[in-house]
A and B are shown apart, each in its own frame.
Chain A
Amino acid sequence: MYTKHFRTTLGGLLAAFAAAASPAAGAELRIGTSAEPSALDPHYHNLAPNTAVRMHVFEALVGQDAKQRLKPELAESWRAVDDTTWEFKLRKGVKFSDGTPFDAQDFVYTVCRIPQVQNSPSSFTIYTKGIDAIETPDPHTLIIKTAAPYPLLPVELSTFGIMSAEAAKGENVKFEKAGCKADSWPATAQFNDLSLAIGTGPYKFKQFTKGERIVLETNPVYWGRKPQFDAVTFRPITSDGPRVAALLAGDVDMIENPPIQDIERLKNDPKVAVSQALSNRVIYVALGVQEKPPTIEGTDGKNPLRDKRVREALSLAIDRDAIVKRIMLGVAEPASQLLPAGFFGHDPALKLTSDQKKAKELLAAAGYPNGFKLTLGTPNDRYINDEKVAQAVAQMFTRIGVQTQVDASTANVFFSRRNKEEYSAFLAGWGAATGEMSSPLKSLVAGRDKDKGFGTTNYTSYANPAVDQPLAQALATVDDKKREALLQQSVRAVIEDYGILPLHYEVTSWATRKGLTYEARADQYTLAFDVTSK
Chain B
Amino acid sequence: MNSKLTAAEKPKFAIGLRCLNCGEKYSFEQLKEERGTTVVNLCYNGCLGPLEIEFDYEAISKILTPKEVAARPETFWRLRELQPVNEIKIIDRPYTPLVRSRKIGKELGIELFFKLDLAEANPTRSFKDRPATLAFNRVLELGHFEKVFVASTGNLAIATAYLARTNELPCRVYIPRSLGECKKDAIREQLGEDSEILELDANFDECLIRSVNDCRKINEEARLAGQPERCFVPNNTTRPFYKEGSKTSGSEIALQISKEIEPNREVNIFYPIGTAALLCGADKGINELKKLELFENPHRIFGVQPDTCSPVVTAWEEIKNGKKLEDVEIQPLKKFETIAKSIAIGNPGSGKEALKVFAKSGGGAIGVDEEDIFDAELELIREENLFPQFVGGTVLAGIRKALATGEIEKGAVVVANLTGFGERIRDDIFAVAEKYGRETETTK
Indicate whether A and B interact.
no
